[in-house]
Structure 1
Amino acid sequence: MFKPLKSLLLTGGLCLALPALADPVLQESPFLSEQVNAGSMPAVTERAPDTPLFVDLEARGRTSGTQGGTLSTFVSRDKDIRMMVVYGYGRLVGFDADYKLVPDILESFENEGDKVFTLHLRPGHRWSDGAPFTSEDFRYWWEDVANNEALSPSGPPDFLLVEGNAPEVTYPDETTVVFSWAEANPSFLQSLAQARPPFIYRPAHVMKKYHIDYADSDLLNTEVQEARVNSWAALHNKLDNMYNFDNPDLPTLQPWINASDGKKIRHQFLRNPYYHRFDSKGVQLPYIDTVEMEVVSGGLIAAKSNAGEADLQARGLDFRDIPILRKGEEGGDYRTYLWANGTASQIAIYPNLNYNDDVWREVLRDVRVRRALSLGIDRDTINRALYFNLAKPGAMTVLPSSPFYKAENREAWASFDTEQANALLDEAGLAERGPNGIRLLPDGREMELVVETAGERQEVENAMQIVTDTWADIGIKLVLRPLDRDILRNRIYAGTTMAAVWYGWDNGIPQPYTSPDYLAPRYQEFFAWPKWGQFYQTGGDVGEAPDMPAAEELMALSREWDHATSDEERSLAWEKMLKIHADNVFGIGILAEAPQPVVVSNRLKNVPQSAIWAWDPGAHFGVHRMDEFYFDGTGTN
């Protein structure tokens, strides 16, 4: 039951005890009042945690709202209903508006030298189905899922391993969980705040029904057969989709619950009756009762937004859509905000240093070739033609809002200099050309550089057409090959893609607490070195060990950051790694900071006019707290 004397208020991202202030009276939701009156759902005072998280909206320049309404938005793929976990941004620890880490689902946490983290849960907090959320949910995940070979063949996730060693996890009581390492794990809290959270807990009361150590064997076998899967583990993993959000029977702690089963054109998400956040007047968040997410072709998202069919839309919209969106504002009853983009580069080309072709691999590993490719791009023309000069041309590096930004890193090998590019390619032993002016590889083949793309952004194809023309001037033939996103990723990871074009680093605004592991060859997701990343991620079982000095130095510096004991040491590691990237051009950035259009219904309030649209850190709408958005007026739309 709600204990008013223990209430907390979130002011500017900080949790402060307010014993001297009168505690707000919790207000029942009109959306749920019928169920409460019928006795099928407890009253809000029974649903709330003993220590709810009260949010002082006025202190952050927002207004208190009213509950109600259905918010409409679009995605282009059925699997993207997982964006509700991203947008909802219910996290144990999350970023506030200033990108500082603060408790959210947790009541508080303690950090002892980045080695011991004590997590304090909110007493009385419940899952969306009303079951208690306790340390048992953490114990179940750690002991019965993460360390169960059938469910997790690779063992616990990487972010919990320090020098290959797992933490000791203890549970002093039902609201306390302790993660302890012998060596520092400074990125632990940041990992919990990611757009795709690691979910170090599970609804044990539900998932135990599908675990061989807890379930009745006969009933479990029947469930396995009915689900048409091969084993109890396959069934458990199929249902255990905290991030994918496609199992409506799986309880959640997010602000909205998935109320739709299976593949549909429209998915509905209803307010979580047991959500832990309230405004300072005692109104339970989220303000909006229902989110309706419609699956449409990606090419239709801008048109439907222009017609006023979206109450909130940014995903699926690009800079090129701004003119048509602005034209539709009056008739569509919406406004178009231009948010800053948080990725390190709007468009970046990644030569695959692990490409399966030995000749091409050696060519692409020559830093002179990568520098020449970068110098052969006319970024100013791309900026003028596609972004009306509103983007910032340059190499891929962090953005000016990061403390690690240096202009020389953005400028490195990023001028349009055909003469220097040609000289570098000649110096690299690629001086011989065929009758059509295309350079020849050492084995006599033409330098036909195939760049693969997901084909989801017209701006990329337009930019690459300009690159095609300017690369021809340095004797390189560019061939752009569009593929399905998943096929593209699989080809890159397998080493069958020569080069790919994608965004730059997701996190273009890192802080000292941000792990620089995405700058080192630790993950296959960095398209320049997928096999090096696989080698690290699998402990050497798959992939290839880094065998270039610059890559080995990046690995050493990432380890230095891991073991650093101060922000000064961590910052130094960041600066050195960024300099290595600038010199080696592992990813060829084209331009950054192109504005992201955000369509907002005129009736939707508390949406910031100026903000950053970023995956990590930020979770797109998540860090801006979509649960605080509300419809003005009657509460219906």
Structure 2
Amino acid sequence: MISKRLRLIGFAALAVMLFTVLACSSDDDADTDTAAPAPAPAPAQAPAPAPAAAPAPAAAPAQEPAKDDAMMEKPTFEGTFKGTFVWDGDHPTEFSEAPTLAAMVAAGSLPPVEERLPNAEDVMVVPVVDRIGDYGGTWRRAFTGPNDGQNADRLMMDMVLYYDLNGTDVIPNVAKDWDISDDGLVYTLYLREGMKWSDGVPFTSEDFVWHFENVIIDDEINPTRDGQIGWSGVQVDSFAAIDDYTVAVTLRERKDGFLDSLANYTTGGWTLHGRIADGMYGPTHYLKTIHRKFADDKDAFDKRVADAGYENWITFFKDNASPLKSTDTPVISPWKMTSPITAEIYEWERNPYYWAVDPAGNQLPYIDRISMTLTGDKEILNLKASAGEIDFQHRHIEMAKVPVFKENEERSNIDVQFWGSHGAVGLSINMSYGEGPVEYEVDEEVKKWLNNFEFRKALSLAIDPHKINEVMFLGQGTVSQGVFSKGHPFYPGDETAQKYTEHDPEQAKEILDSIGLVDTDGNGIRNRTDGKGDLVFITDYAAEYFVAYDILAELIEEDLAKVGVKLALKAMDVSLFKERRDGNTGIMMAGGVGGGRWPALLDRWYESGSAYRTWYTGGRDVYSEDSIAAEPTDPNILRLAELADLAKELRYADRKDLYIEGQKINVDNLYGIGAVGNTPAFNGVIVKKKYFKNVPPQAPNESPLQNPGIARTVQFFIEGGKNDSE
């Protein structure tokens, strides 16, 4: 652990050195500045509502804590989400646009804003958190490379429906409304009349029907999908265009959870699912040009694919459909990629056809462009954030650096915010180790102990969650198993949340002794019962991840060593992670335990390579396709599968009893050992410039909800319309 603490000290020292250089350069710049730049033209302001007549704008978010106390403010889900992104005020009838777009209209290179937006009554109105924003500016971020696709996905909020700020209520988004048939099989989506793709082509029901018939159920593109949309676990029988702006989606069997899938990343939007070829819709007019079935000359098409360096047309199709890789693919997101994720500067510029406005009728987004600088070294990325070179970043921001960020708030003109998440960090156990047609020699001794509840209980008691909380999370988390946070309607209660979290190494030793796992040679490590020496458990962790899982792994290793259990830590990059997951090779993993959107840990076991997930999904999601599958025999695990199935048949808000039962099964059996929950460490530590506005103090921090998009990035703005480098 000394090396990790030295690393943090080194980061702080490097930050001071950089600030010295920045201070000197700022003085030099001041001598040459002749005048401050004029602020960007302000958008039209929303008219004040008539007293006691027009509905008030959305309730203001809870008061931001004083800056000195912000670091000590624990993330909570108890009464903090006061705002709503449902607009109940007067609908604007006149519209304004960004000055850059107005100039293009004046030059004749772009149609007027009224022609670019949907019909006036169908334009989506997005309430603003603080005030009507200022147009202009570049939102500076950092990304780590081509595998960092979620860096942009999370900003683009192009799901068919979306969650409100509370993370529970489904509200309109791409679709302005929806109906569900009495039998729960037919979902009718009502699109926004006059809405267009970023190239000006109408966005219609054909973009749903064609995509399903020629991508989702195409035997070459998706040979095993069998009608499943995204990662929803829901199989669709058909899409039908009732008219240009009405589409009917018929499910094979009733799954009321499909409504929630339309609002989260499991079906997602075009930005995320375009590159995977498994979403709800796509730009028909463009996709026909890269789909082999629609090529008049198949030989010429094949030559085009080969000349572009592809071995097959499927990869060619996915790459050229990807909004992250292809500048040709149209989008309906607020920004469109102009420099790909494979470049050193990854950029997105405003979509002139975006279909939403603020309450005053100003077309969104406010911000002109997003510019992400390739920063593979996360130490450097966090250093840039602390130096004020990033305008808003949540991804790859490390909890351990918060003291440095706080120290430099005034000097770098930055704020730090925390958005807490459900679940916990701890030790995942691969309950399916050795199951299925694995291609390795199964260590039966290891397998025996993984499946021994008393052994897992001893591990839980040996781990010190309070130390993990202090070292990793500055005391900001809550000692807990991997359950929903307190205050959420699905919280299983203190008894379940706190079960087996007490730190009692002496009891852990007694349990291990009682089950026959003893140190027979006196070297401090408990021995195998098959006479083959020390018992060692290979424990994986994700290297260079959003959370400092290397520190977590070392802390757990230290605690277990004190009771004689030996771990062999193994750092993994993304490629090795996938290889071990697919091969069901993992034994234990230090990382996340549980998750806030899923009814059963079964849905999350892919993190430690579980064959049970693949058995459950049938290999029909991105995390389990081509992976080893094995059917569980443990009745409790089979019950988790039943709960997961039942949950898909209910709306998210109606799943309380199922979620609580699933959490209790997981905790009672310790299929995953939680330590600290309710932390912002995974994508929830936000560093932003003080001039970066309309950011809620708190919002749900869950991957399926795609934060910060759930806070409506389109209404974020840079005060004055320019960042401090423009």
In the alignment, is residue 371 of structure 1 matched against residue 371 of structure 2?
A: no
Q: Structure 2: how far apart are the matches of 1:168 and 1:290?
A: 38
1:352 equivalent in structure 2 = 430
Unaligned 5+ runs, structure 1: 1-7
Other-structure match for 2:160:
92
Shift of 1:107: 1.5
Partner of 2:584: 495
After superposition, the C-alpha distances for 1:9-46 in whole angstroms (9 at most, x for unaligned) are 9956475687xx57341113211233222222111111
Q: Is the 8 A contact 1:210 1:236 kept in 2?
A: yes
**1:549 Cα shift?**
1.8
Q: Do the aligned partners of residues 506 and 300 (structure 1) sit closer, same or farther apart at CA in structure 2, a change above 3 Å counting? A: farther
TM superposition shift of 1:334: 1.6
1:611 aligns with 2:699: yes
Residue matched to 1:281: 360
Which whole-Å CA distance do the structure 2 matches of 1:565 and 1:127 have between them? 30
Q: What's 1:473 paired with? A: 562
The answer as to whether partners of 2:413 and 2:689 remain within 8 angstroms in 1 is: yes
Alpha carbons 2:283, 2:330 under 8 Å: kept: yes
Distance verdict in 2 for CA 1:365–1:91, change over 3 Å: same
How do residues 114-513 of structure 1 correspond to structure 2 at under 5 angstroms? 114-156=184-226, 158=228, 166-181=236-251, 183-195=253-265, 197=268, 198=273, 199-217=279-297, 218-242=299-323, 245-261=324-340, 263-296=342-375, 297-337=377-417, 339-345=418-424, 347-356=425-434, 357=442, 358-405=444-491, 406-444=493-531, 445-456=533-544, 459-507=548-596, 510=597
Deviates more, 1:449-458 or 1:44-53: 449-458
- Structure 1 residue 293 displacement after superposition: 0.8
Between stretches 73-82 and 406-415, larger displacement belongs to: 73-82
Amino acid at match of 1:128: S
Which residue, 557, 577, 580 being the options, matches 2:643?
Answer: 557
Residues 321 and 329, structure 2, Cα contact 8 Å, conserved in 1? yes
* 1:148-200 deviation per Cα after TM superposition (whole angstroms, max 9, x unaligned): 10111112464589998642321111111111235321221211222461531
Cα separation, partners in 2 of 1:433 and 1:492, compared to 1, 3 Å: farther
Structure 2 letter corresponding to 1:250: T
Q: Take 1:565 and 1:90, find their aligned partners in 2: how far apart are those partners?
A: 21
Note if 1:582 corresponds to 2:667: yes
Instruction: Please report how far the alpha carbon of residue 52 of structure 1 lies from its aligned counterpart in structure 2 after TM superposition.
Output: 4.2
Counterpart contact for 2:87–2:127, Cα < 8 Å: no
Number of the residue aligned with 1:572: 657
| 2:428–2:593 CA contact under 8 A, matched in 1 | no
Q: Aligned partners of 2:687, 2:251: CA distance in 1, in Å? A: 45
**Residue 349 of structure 2 aligns to which amino acid in structure 1?**
L
1:453 and 1:141 mapped to 2: Cα distance? 38
Change (3 A) 1:369 1:327: same
> Helix, strand or coil: the match of 2:471?
helix
Structure-2 separation of matches of 1:120 and 1:153 = 30
Aligned: 1:531 with 2:599: no
* Cα deviation digits, residues 109-132 of structure 1 (max 9, x gap): 112343221001111111111111
How far 1:359 sits from its partner (Å)?
2.4
Task: Summarize the alignment of residues 4-23 of structure 1 with structure 2, pairs less than 5 Å apart.
Answer: 13=84, 21=90, 23=92
The aligned amino acid for 1:44 is V
**C-alpha distance 161-622 of structure 1, shift in aligned 2 (>3 A):** closer
Could you tell me which of 134, 137, 140 is aligned with 1:69? 137
Offset at residue 282 of structure 1 (A): 1.4
2:166 counterpart letter in structure 1? D
Q: Which residue of 2 aligns with 1:31?
A: 100
- From 110, 115, 118, give the equivalent of 1:41: 110
Shift of 1:369: 1.3
| Cα gap change, 1:520 to 1:471, in 2 (>3 Å) | closer
Cα–Cα, structure 1 residues 221 and 492, in superposed 2: closer, same or farther, change >3 Å? closer
- The residue type paired with residue 352 of structure 2 is P
Question: Matches of 1:477 and 1:626 in 2, distance apart?
Answer: 46
* Distance (whole Å) between structure 1 residues aligned to residue 480 and residue 605 of structure 2: 25
- Give me the CA root mean square deviation: 2.7
Matched position secondary structure for 2:576 = helix
TM-score when normalising by structure 1:
0.90
- 1:482 and 1:340 mapped to 2: Cα distance? 27
| Secondary structure at 1:608 match in 2 | coil
- Structure 1 vs Structure 2: percent identity of aligned residues? 26
Q: Please state if 1:625 is matched with 2:715.
A: no
Contact 2:340 2:347 in 1 (8 A): no
The one-letter code matched in structure 2 to 1:240 is A
Task: Answer whether contact 2:140 2:392 (CA < 8 A) is retained.
Answer: yes
Q: Give the conservation status (yes or no) of the 8 Å contact 2:56–2:88.
A: yes
- 1:22–1:214 CA distance, 2 compared to 1 (3 A): closer
Q: 2:392·2:687 contact (CA, 8 Å) conserved in 1?
A: yes
CA distance in 2, matches of 1:506, 1:471: 25
Give the 3 Å change call, closer, same or farther, for CA 567–270 of structure 1 in structure 2: closer
The TM-score with structure 2 as length reference comes to 0.79
For residues 238 and 476 of structure 1, what CA distance do their matches in structure 2 show?
47
CA distance 1:378–1:162, shift in 2 (3 Å):
closer
Cα 1:120/1:288, change in 2 over 3 Å? same
Compared with structure 1, are the counterparts of its residues 231 and 481 closer, same or farther at alpha carbon in structure 2 (3 Å cutoff)?
closer
- 2: CA distance, partners of 1:56 / 1:153: 40
Q: Which residue of 1 aligns with 2:30?
A: none
Asked if structure 2 preserves the Cα contact closer than 8 Å seen for 1:9 and 1:280, the reply is no
> Which residue matches 1:3?
none
- Match of 2:314, SS state, is helix
- Counterpart of 1:40, as a letter, is S
Counterpart secondary structure, 2:240: strand
Distance across 1 between alignment mates of 2:662 and 2:258: 21
| Contact residue 428 and residue 672 of structure 2 kept, 8 A | yes
**Residue type at the aligned position of 1:291:** I
Equivalent AA in structure 2 for residue 579 of structure 1: K
Closer, same or farther in 2 for the Cα pair 1:524/1:219, shift >3 Å? farther
Q: Distance in 2 between matches of 1:209 and 1:10?
A: 45
Matched residue count: 611
Alpha-carbon separation, structure 2, partners of 1:327 and 1:13: 33
Distance 1:162 1:589, change over 3 A: closer
Letter of the 1:470 partner, please give it.
Answer: D
Amino acid at match of 2:170: L
Q: Using the alignment, how far apart are the partners of 1:420 and 1:13 within structure 2?
A: 49
Greater mean alpha carbon deviation, residues 459-468 or residues 469-478? 459-468
Shift of 1:76: 1.9
Residues 389-434 of structure 1 deviation map (CA, whole Å, 9 limit, x = unaligned): 2211122211113212111112111111123222332343323533
> Cα distance 1:280–1:560, how it changes in 2: closer, same or farther (>3 A)?
closer
- Native 8 Å contact 1:326 1:336 kept in 2: yes
* Residue range with higher mean Cα deviation, 189-198 or 163-172: 163-172
> CA contact under 8 A between 1:9 and 1:16: conserved in structure 2?
no
Seen in structure 2, the aligned counterparts of structure 1 residues 134 and 354 have a Cα distance that, compared at 3 Å, is: same
Quote the Cα distance in structure 1 between the aligned partners of 2:326 and 2:173: 24
SS at match of 1:521: helix
